[in-house]
């Protein structure tokens, strides 16, 4: 995690934009073409992976700006807020389907992403002190 904080923040914003676009644009035909009839499994896996990565990036991007616990809390709140906002905006869109289950998967993905971040961040520091 040696890239500059600015690079991590840019990557986080770019990934959040990808999630926002894929959550609000009419992507059902692309999902159907890719999934081979397993739309639910593919979209669930996609939600999970997207929010694991988003939360991890948020943890790294926020890490130097506040305490590590503060970065974890802020990263979780921001990731979950994005997931919730997207589901709320999807509700009135005729070509999208807002689902509580998608939001729950987003929350779980965010928690896993931040757990990965904290494991790497805290694990790296404790190994560094022993050396």
- Which are the contacts of 108, defined by CB distance < 8 A and separation ≥ 6? 48, 51
Distance (Å, rounded) from C-alpha 89 to C-alpha 7?
29
Residue 45 has pLDDT above 60, yes or no: yes
pLDDT at 129: 45
Residue-wise pLDDT tens digits, 72-124: 999 999 999 999 999 999 999 999 989 999 999 999 999 999 999 988 877 65
What's the number of domains the chain is made of?
A: 1
pLDDT at 4: 85
pLDDT at 130: 44
Contact criterion met (CB below 8 Å) for 49 and 22: no
**Residue 8 — pLDDT band, cuts 50, 70, 90?**
very high
Domain that holds residue 50: 5-130
Percent over 90 (pLDDT), the chain: 64
Residue-wise pLDDT tens digits, 83-93: 999 999 999 99
């Amino acid at each position: 995690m040696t890239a500059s904080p600015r690079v991590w923040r840019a990557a986080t914003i770019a990934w959040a934009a990808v999630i926002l676009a894929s959550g609000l644009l009419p992507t059902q035909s692309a999902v159907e073409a890719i999934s081979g009839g397993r739309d639910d499994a593919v979209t669930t896996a996609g939600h999970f992976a997207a929010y694991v990565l988003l939360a991890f990036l948020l943890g790294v991007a926020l890490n130097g700006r506040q305490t590590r616990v503060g970065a974890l809390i802020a990263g979780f709140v921001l990731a979950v807020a994005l997931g919730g906002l997207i589901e709320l905006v999807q509700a009135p869109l005729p070509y999208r389907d807002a689902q509580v289950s998608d939001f729950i998967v987003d929350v779980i993905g965010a928690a896993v992403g931040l757990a990965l971040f904290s494991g790497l961040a805290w694990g790296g520091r404790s190994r560094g002190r022993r050396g």
